[in-house]
Amino acid sequence: MSKIFTQADVSSHSKPDSLWIVIDGDVYDVTKFADDHPGGKKILQRVGGKDASKQFWKYHNEGILKKYQGKLQIGSLDSKPKAAAPAPAAAPAPAPKAAPKPKASTASSSSHEQSEALEPFGQLIPFADPSWYQSYHSPYYNETHAALRAEIREWVETAIDPYVTEWDEKKEVPAEIYKEMGKRGYLAGLLGTKYQSNYVENPIKSVPAEKWDLFHEMLVTDELSRTGSGGFVWNVIGGFGIGCPPLVKFGKKPLVDRILPGILNGDKRICLAITEPDAGSDVANLTCEAKLTEDGKHYIVNGEKKWITNGIWSDYFTTAVRTGGPGMNGVSLLLIERDFPGVSTRRMDCQGVWSSGTTYITFEDVKVPVENLIGKENQGFRVIMTNFNHERIGIIIQCLRFSRVCYEESVKYANKRRTFGKKLIEHPVIRLKLAHMARQIEASYNWLENLIYQCEKMGDTEAMLRLGGAIASLKAQATVTFEFCAREASQIFGGLSYSRGGQGGKVERLYRDVRAYAIPGGSEEIMLDLSIRQSLRVSKMTGMKL
Ligand code: HEM
């Protein structure tokens, strides 16, 4: 879009049949668009032939320009200073310096050799991004994290963010986006374990596989969550992030070799099917039954699963079934494939996370080969419990980023909206709201970093025992923080967060997504109770003195 115009050129296009406007030194032809403009055509005609930057920024956020620029921009003004070009929201990735010397073979050890703070990144709004984005010192991140952060942010800002509202309203994300998650090598790093380079065609670009650690994994989820849509995040990693780890960690090699490449390359989808119409947080009491056939070669599965994320699109279901007696010792995990006769799925209508595909599943006499057993028969409960830590950490990362999105949107809006003769940010009551949001976000995020570091250092079983209580507690902390931030942001945006779309659109959507985080993966009440029970039980075994 290199055409250069003078202000006189633009001024001669001020009529409805040829209507140009200027925004930030760029020239837009809105003649045809005016009829479709959601704000009305007259308002555009009033600024025809003129610089409309001030009016534009009053009513829209950055996403609008990104979405429409390609279609409507016809050039720039000759007077547009080069430096005035709109800065990309994400600063370019700092050029990778010499890779830190690995001390040991684990990826994590390299993280702690970062002695200098990393370059600043992003829009530098305090608390809208984690502090290491603003060049705070941190023991957890190095150049590989910075490079990955820049890679994902660029993709999210250009190919995802401008379209998320549309996808949410349609309750579907284009299949190419999940495919792209595979092509970019992201899926192979989202399993709570080392990077699965053996199973992918294109490993991730910005991080050598052997350097991959749980902080890289956190970054992928965190940056995707900047879209401010639980539906989007769950669409691309929701079912996968909880359904695939049990397969990778406990599946038999032939099964893993057969199906994992398709999943990690983004061609096939997998989800986790545990919850039932009558068994949610009370997993030990699930009733979906799997009976071994007399020849010992198959299980016959009968039962129902409810609220299953991604179920309608999934090719594989990592399913909790009852293979033995009552309680936790009769539960197993089976990999059920969509092609097996007797599997049917239907979409459920829910309050939030619209594009995540929440599903009701029925299994009727489904014949599943014993080779599809994940882990050992009747020992599935342990696999499920191990998996819960990973699931809850994912929920925490998303909730804290969504809280930041609520905060960031509020800060930006408060700096442009004027009431009673001053900007919102000049009202102490608004600053107080922002302060209460920020303190909860930062406190929770610092705890999250600590727990991720512990997960990195402990094995799965040790982490399940020693971190289960703290992770449960932080899950409750994160969902309460998210609910608080969504509410406060909504109050700051007023009517704009009551109607869907537009400037308050992210806040309105996130407000509807809150319960999808506070209830699944262990409700707040169960989490808080578990946090104390589990922590006391483990500490008793490890020498607590009361
Ligand atoms: C390239 C030029 C423009 C594009 C692509 C555009 C696009 C849009 C879109 C998509 C919306 C729906 C709400 C949203 O998603 O934010 C909207 C609403 C609106 N636009 Fe524009 N617009 C443009 C220029 C302008 C200008 C120059 C003005 C004012 C002079 C304006 C005034 C408004 C108003 C008042 C609304 C309604 C806001 C509300 O519902 O609160 N627009 N515009």
Cβ atoms of 488 and 406 within 8 Å: the answer is yes
Residue 61 CA: nearest ligand 1 atom is 16
Q: In a mutational test of the pocket of ligand 1, which residue from 23, 28, 29, 37 has the highest number of ligand atoms less than 8 Å from its CB? A: 37
- The structure tokens 């479709």 sit at 36
pLDDT digits (tens, 9 = 90+) for 41-58: 999 999 999 999 999 999
Is 159 part of a structural domain of the chain? no
- Total domains, the chain: 3
Q: Atom 37, ligand 1: which residue's CA is nearest?
A: 39
Q: Are residues 292 and 433 in the same domain?
A: no
Q: Are residues 410 and 527 in the same domain?
A: yes
Spatial distance between the Cα atoms of 192 and 187, rounded to a whole number of angstroms: 11
Is 195 part of a structural domain of the chain? no
H-type helices in 354-421, by residue range?
Answer: 380-414
Please report, for the domain that includes residue 286, its CATH number. 2.40.110.10
102 band by pLDDT with thresholds 50, 70 and 90: very low
Strands (E), 424-490: none
Q: Atom 26, ligand 1: which residue's CA is nearest?
A: 56
* 38 within ligand 1 shell (Cβ under 6 A): yes
91, pLDDT greater than 50: no
390, pLDDT greater than 70: yes
Is 288 part of a structural domain of the chain? yes
Residue 184: partners with Cβ closer than 8 Å, 6 or more residues away: 151, 155, 202, 204, 205
Q: Atom 33, ligand 1: which residue's CA is nearest?
A: 39
Please report, for the domain that includes residue 64, its CATH number. 3.10.120.10
Pairing of strands 73-77, 4-5: parallel
Q: Are residues 480 and 348 in the same domain?
A: no
Q: Atom 9, ligand 1: which residue's CA is nearest?
A: 38
* Burial group, residue 345, by CB count within 10 angstroms (0-12, 13-18, 19+): buried
pLDDT digits (tens, 9 = 90+) for 346-378: 999 999 999 999 999 999 999 999 999 999 999
pLDDT digits (tens, 9 = 90+) for 335-346: 999 999 999 999
* 55 within ligand 1 shell (Cβ under 6 A): yes
Q: Are residues 391 and 338 in the same domain?
A: no
Is 97 part of a structural domain of the chain? no
What's the confidence (pLDDT) of residue 158?
93
* 44 within ligand 1 shell (Cβ under 6 A): yes
Q: Are residues 344 and 286 in the same domain?
A: yes
Is 114 part of a structural domain of the chain? no
Q: Which residues pair with 367 in a beta bridge?
A: 300
* 190 within ligand 1 shell (Cβ under 6 A): no
Is 70 part of a structural domain of the chain? yes
Describe the crossing of helices 214-224 and 143-155 by its angle, rounded to 10 degrees. 20
* 56 within ligand 1 shell (Cβ under 6 A): yes
pLDDT digits (tens, 9 = 90+) for 490-519: 999 999 999 999 999 999 999 999 999 999
Residue 67 CA: nearest ligand 1 atom is 5
Please report, for the domain that includes residue 435, its CATH number. 1.20.140.10
Residue 136: partners with Cβ closer than 8 Å, 6 or more residues away: 117
Q: Are residues 396 and 373 in the same domain?
A: no
* 37 within ligand 1 shell (Cβ under 6 A): yes
Spatial distance between the Cα atoms of 184 and 195, rounded to a whole number of angstroms: 13
Is 117 part of a structural domain of the chain? no
Q: Are residues 438 and 343 in the same domain?
A: no
Q: Are residues 333 and 358 in the same domain?
A: yes
Domain boundary among 59, 84, 109: 84
Cβ atoms of 246 and 383 within 8 Å: the answer is yes
Spatial distance between the Cα atoms of 136 and 120, rounded to a whole number of angstroms: 9
Domain boundary among 84, 116, 150: 84
Residues 221-235: b if buried by 16+ CB within 10 A, e if exposed: bbbbbbbbbbbbbbb
pLDDT digits (tens, 9 = 90+) for 445-497: 999 999 999 999 998 888 888 999 999 999 999 999 999 999 999 999 999 99
* 493 within ligand 1 shell (Cβ under 6 A): no
Q: Are residues 478 and 507 in the same domain?
A: yes
What's the confidence (pLDDT) of residue 93?
43
Domain that holds residue 42: 4-84
Domain boundary among 346, 378, 410: 378
Q: How crowded is the C-beta side of 314, counted as CA atoms within 13 Å?
A: 38
Q: Are residues 411 and 449 in the same domain?
A: yes
54 Cα to the center of ligand 1, angstroms = 12
* Structure ipTM: 0.97
Cβ atoms of 311 and 278 within 8 Å: the answer is no
Q: In a mutational test of the pocket of ligand 1, which residue from 23, 30, 47, 64 has the highest number of ligand atoms less than 8 Å from its CB? A: 64
Q: Are residues 349 and 402 in the same domain?
A: no
Is 180 part of a structural domain of the chain? no
What's the confidence (pLDDT) of residue 137?
95
Q: Are residues 397 and 286 in the same domain?
A: no
What's the confidence (pLDDT) of residue 283?
81
